[in-house]
Amino acid sequence: MESTSIELPGSEIGVVSYQDGCLCIRFSRAHIIKTMTGSHERTRWWQHGDLIMEGAKIESGLPEGRLVCDGGDIDDNIFTYRDMIPVPLDTRGHTRCDLGFRGTDRRLIAIGETLKLEMVEVPKYIEHIRPEG
């Protein structure tokens, strides 16, 4: 069995858009970490994808231009994912995102009714991550 998640710090965002209550965060290069159950070693990949929040209310200004994520929180009802997004993600209820960006103190904060991660194409391999020590 394998666990897969997007590592938010360092993931590149191409555009953030908001229209008719739909927030879309388009990852131009999401960093993906894959771990096999029982293994201490991991692999890093990258892939395009969209984080889509429906019924969204923006609590901050929308960031513009290409950005590099510096980390943040993704809330899925009672769960908070810090600096990561589980893959797959498709949830309803209380959803929230609070993301920071490198080189700025601006944040993207939004609450919504649904949150879905749609990955595009296939992941591309970057490196093998071995435990230190």
Q: How far apart are CA 26 and CA 30, in angstroms?
A: 9
Beta bridge partners of 117: 51
**Percent share of the chain, pLDDT over 90:** 89
Identify each DSSP E strand in the chain by its residue range.
Answer: 2-19, 22-36, 42-54, 57-58, 67-76, 79-82, 84-86, 90-101, 107-129
Residues 6+ apart with CB under 8 A from 90: 115, 116, 117
- What average pLDDT does the structure give for the chain? 95
Instruction: Give the pTM.
Output: 0.94
Q: What is the pLDDT of residues 15-74, one digit of tens each?
A: 999 999 999 999 999 999 999 888 888 999 999 999 999 999 999 989 989 999 999 999
